[in-house]
Amino acid sequence: MSNRNISDLHPPSRILLGAGPSNVHPRVYQAMMAPILGHLDPDFLHIMDETKDLLRAVFRTQNEETIAVSGTGSAGMEAAVANLIEPGERAVVCVAGFFGDRIAEMASRYGAEVTRVEAEWGRIIEPEAVEAALKAASRTKLVAIVHAETSTGIHQPLDDIVRLTHEHGALLLVDAVTSLAGCELAVDDWGIDACHSASQKCLSCPPGTAPLTFSTRAVDALRSRETKVRSWYLDMTLLDNYWGGKRAYHHTAPMSMVYALREGLRLVLEEGLEARLGRHQRNGQALRAGLEAMGLTLHAQEAYRLPVITTVRVPDGIDDLKLRRALLYEHNIEIAGGLGPLAGKVWRIGLMGVASSAENVLAVLAALEQELSAQGFRLEKGAGVAAADRALGEG
């Protein structure tokens, strides 16, 4: 194909209400237009320092070892696993969804002896199951758990898991890819040892950077390793020499993505963490009220449902893919289908970052009503929007 046949780039502007990415804030786009600097330019190093300070504030930590990994959320996940696990060490990995399973797979590839603590996709990991695994195993180095399981819509409680992990002398790794800046998360107060996230969810930035923080205990474990970290690119001892310390060259940082993350974090703190969490909670409750008023069934375990990702079961007789395509092409709204054993069985509706708004709640409910009705699903016209509107008023 000749280059002359390729037109200018004009992707559509969607309402992104899937499982990520979420819509990007206009100020973040503006920040990405700032000039590129050298990766060791003093001005860029200052921007990196500011980004670290902002990350600490949003993670609610004083951890010195707090950086943004150059890569997507999975790179942050792998960095945490790679640095904290040596071959032959034991890891207890909680698996109640797609991303818990991914952590288990990574830990296995890095040579860990993995004990999986499993729960049905759509239910929480019970502390008793973690305790039993810790008691049954020889000394455990790492316990890993997903705080907000994107594949199921489950909001995992952590307090008992933290306590049990530390009672058994292990480190706790928490996946906060979907919860950072959208759900309550306090790394220091909760005693989390390693926590990773991603830029494209509740931070309203494009994918490409992965916030990561290590506690003093995690840093001590890293420094006392008997073997080198198997991943050169994700070795925190090398990355720390770039993000702090010696300021030694490691890789060419994605400057525009760092600018984006810095601006996204500024927006979080300008809104205020408490106000931001309240907004996500209020809109999530309104969406759930609307879906149930339409006669739909929520999938995630009651009392443990995420405000930022809602899973709803696909009704019998409804063509999952046809409905999602209609939402995309007729209403310009993206929602996500299910993963793994939930493929074709649930829809995942995200309300993250700037996309978590009352307008988007009402828009997706109205669009769902229209497309469900077109496929013969019987519902009371306007019931979902009305229920959500009432919930928003009460909130």
Residue 3: per-residue pLDDT:
66
Residue written as token pair 């928003």: 392
Residue 138: per-residue pLDDT:
82
Q: Which of 53, 97, 58, 105 is nearest to 77 (CA)?
A: 105
Burial 31-49 (b: 16+ CB within 10 A, else e): bbeeeebebeeeebbebbe
Residue 2: per-residue pLDDT:
59
- Residue 65: strand, helix, or coil: strand
Residue 394: per-residue pLDDT:
85
Residue 4: per-residue pLDDT:
73
pTM of structure: 0.96
* Domain boundaries for CATH 3.40.640.10 within the chain: 26-270
In order along its 395 residues, the chain shows pLDDT tens digits of: 556 788 999 999 999 999 999 999 999 999 999 999 999 999 999 999 999 999 999 999 999 999 999 999 999 999 999 999 999 999 999 999 999 999 999 999 999 999 999 999 999 999 999 999 999 988 999 999 999 999 999 999 999 999 999 999 999 999 999 999 999 999 999 999 999 999 999 999 999 999 999 999 999 999 999 999 999 999 999 999 999 878 999 999 999 999 999 999 999 999 999 999 999 999 999 999 999 999 999 999 999 999 999 999 999 999 999 999 999 999 999 999 999 999 999 999 999 999 999 999 999 999 999 999 999 999 999 999 999 999 999 86
- Architecture of the domain delimited by 26-270: 3-Layer(aba) Sandwich (3.40)
DSSP state string for 83-94: HH--TT-EEEEE
* Domain boundaries for CATH 3.90.1150.10 within the chain: 273-394
CATH of domain 273-394: 3.90.1150.10
Write out the two tokens for 305. Answer: 């449902």
